[in-house]
Structure 1
Amino acid sequence: MLKFLLVLVALTVAGCATSSGVREFQTYAKIFDEVVEASDTVLNEMAAQERKQRIRALDGKSISDRLERADISVFAPSADPPFVASLRFAVQSVATMNGVLLAYAEGQTLEVMKEDVKQLQAAGIGFETLQTSDLVSPELVTRISQLEEGLDVLIGIGSREAFRKELASSSDKINNLLDVVLSHSTIAFRTLTSSEFREYQTAQFTNAARAAELRQKIATKREMLAEWLHLIELSQQALNKAIAASVEKPGLEYRLVNTAVLLGDMKARADRIKRLAAQN
């Protein structure tokens, strides 16, 4: 009996060693799924505003007789204009990287994932060469390219044993890209609220009631955007906890409690973003 218990303990310890950080990474991946879902709400609204802003700049007070190739996405309602396209590409890139790392963590075969990645790359989702502009920074383009390079490495050497080793280097690329997205918070805010601020510039002197209404709309949009950006920050914290857990091996009870709390909080925040968007 004693021998059986010793063997059981040994197997449990060995199992923890090979799965260290896996549960935490699964939690992070689920949290980022909420970021992805909330992104559509925020970015779709931001795309409409960016389109209006850019068309005004291109047309001036009349209508332009030119349609440059670089401006096609601005005038195509089904496409994302450049700044929103870069943000959506960044989020999709991270989600794809998470999928590959999750396959590592769970010991899944990467064959299906490799095909998915090839299809994403062929479709240009998240990995096409972005054009820098007044809103799309060169650093954001660079970080997305680095993530693509890291993904190419990952899908070539997939195995569960490599998970913790690859997690550290891959997480740096993910964090760097998300940091750049977060650094564009003011540009994102101004893009999202450009129509309201444009009208507010006149209304504050001519129509006090309308000016108050516009201030409230701007405040609501700011809150929605801030919630989304905060979701991204929280996903970074969860990713960093996964890295720490791959070394520190926290107790199972602690991991389960924190997982439940984090996922519940993320879901509530994502739902709030949808409610705020519905107010506009």
Structure 2
Amino acid sequence: MKKLLLILLIVFFFAVGMFSYFAKTIENNNITKIQTDTQKFGKIEHSVYAEGTVLPTNSFPFRAEKDVTVERVFVDLYSHVSVGDEILKYTDGTVIKAETDGYISELFTADGSRAYENDILFSISDPEAELTVRVTVPISEANYFNENSNAFIEVVKNNEEEIKTAKLNATIKNYEVAGDNVIVDCVFENDTEILIGYTAGVKLGSFSEVYGTIVPTYALTSNGDGSYTLFTAIEVDGTNGQRYGVRKHTVSVLESNDSQAAIDMGVPSGYYIVVYSSRPLSDNQIVGLGY
């Protein structure tokens, strides 16, 4: 009888041990699969709220357990963050850190609208200055242009109530399709501050009637060789609802008769350039989807 009980105990503990082993193996395999699935999406993007924002319980993106107020923001729009970098601090002392490597894809103001503190600002201090900027858009990425599309540039002013056409402060100096890119040279005149942006669609008489509108949020970084990299956030009404992404274009300062003319980051004046094309956006043109 004792031998039987001993054998049963041995079998029992052996069974428990094997169950634990296989359960752990399955768990590890699941973790590996999740990590692999995450990695295949490439760049991870984060959304961040500005100082003074009150985030309701379980609000995106941090799923707070209670209503919190953002006390401090440690990042800028489109800045890179690594695992462990501080992103936000709440008034209760909680510090939010990045859980993945990635880029800050959106900033929101306290009222929930997108923040534009880091928009691209082309500032020409001399009223007599003329600054020519070349914008190169890869057709392979965006397909906004082709040989038959009717593309043009205009300046619009965005006030709080509506978007309407303002005085034309920029003119096209040159427009050409070069290989896989379309190149547009813009001339900025007078004492003005202009932001570069664009939208895709057919112009039907008003801005609101253009489809495939790109969200006017921007970031600009110097490449150190006289050219700049322009990042634009896009919003596409795809088959799965609203989807966001980031595109990258090259912006070069070609010439200026004002040696002090500079491209600076700053508070925008409300002007930005809209480039129209006869080709709409589609899902397969989205680059760098976030979550």
TM-score tier after normalising by the smaller chain length: under 0.3
Highest RCO, 1 vs 2 (Cα 8 Å, sep ≥ 6): 1
Greater strand share, structure number: 2
Could you tell me the TM-score, scaled by structure 1's length? 0.24
CA radius of gyration, larger in: 2
Could you tell me the TM-score, scaled by structure 2's length? 0.23
